[in-house]
Amino acid sequence: MIQLHDKQFVPFISAKEIDFALTKLAAQVEDDFGDDTPIFIGVLNGAFMVVSDFLKKYKKPCEVSFIKMASYEGTESTDSVKQLIGINQDLSGRTVILIEDIVDTGNTVEELKHLFKAQNVKHFKIATLFFKPEAYKKDIKIDYIGIRIPNKFIVGYGLDYDGLGRNLTEVYKLAE
Ligand code: IMP
Ligand code: MG
């Protein structure tokens, strides 16, 4: 059991399970777009660890960049997604693969899809380490999914509770 601010969390997903899921994701993307020199776009802050470990497993030529979005307040997703840092590179004709730590309601990926579609990209695909099917409210296809989880609040491996918990190497869920 660990304590972050006022809440307690219990172990949920091991480092080994995460590693396995990322190996699979990297292999799938490599199979589909390995000849394309994709540009991976990590969604900050949460995706920094996913992107780092994913890229080490992706063996073909690729580029990486980051965009910073924020929608969460405490343990609740909010409807307004703010773009805090943008991408200043020309993406027209490129294969863009968004890398998310987690897709919850889908507000963030919806916002990002609009943003990148407007830039005449060749392909726009979405990859996420974690996905909450019960919370997802959108029609947009999530192309690559690492691990499906129930509608629980989790921390660790880049994910935070009000700023804390990102440095944990394993994933914890809110204690009931
Ligand atoms: P969405 O826009 O509701 O899909 O939420 C996406 C963003 O909210 C993610 O990229 C995370 O940063 C954050 N988020 C969603 N679920 C969790 C969670 O269980 N723990 C921590 N952050 C989360
Ligand atoms: Mg995120």
97-144 pLDDT, tens digit each = 999 999 999 988 998 998 888 889 999 999 999 999 999 999 999 999
Residue 147 CB contacts under 8 Å (≥ 6 apart), including other chains: 13, 17, 18, 21, 129, 130, 131
62 token code pair = 């690729």
pLDDT confidence of residue 156? 98
Q: Which atom of ligand 1 is nearest to the CA of 100?
A: 10
Residue from 128, 137, 174 nearest 152 by CA: 174
Residue tagged active-site, from 6, 19, 53, 104: 104
pLDDT confidence of residue 71? 61
Residues of the chain with pLDDT under 50: none
Does ligand 1 come within 6 angstroms of the Cβ of 4?
no
Indicate which CATH number applies to the domain containing 162: 3.40.50.2020
The domain in which residue 49 lies consists of 2-174
pLDDT confidence of residue 70? 65
User: What's the domain count of the chain?
Assistant: 1
Burial class (CB in 10 A: 0-12, 13-18, 19+), 88: exposed
pLDDT confidence of residue 73? 56
Ligand that comes closest to the CA of residue 47:
2
Coil, helix or strand at residue 33 = helix
pTM above 0.85, yes or no: yes
Tell me the C-alpha distance between 25 and 127, whole Å. Answer: 8
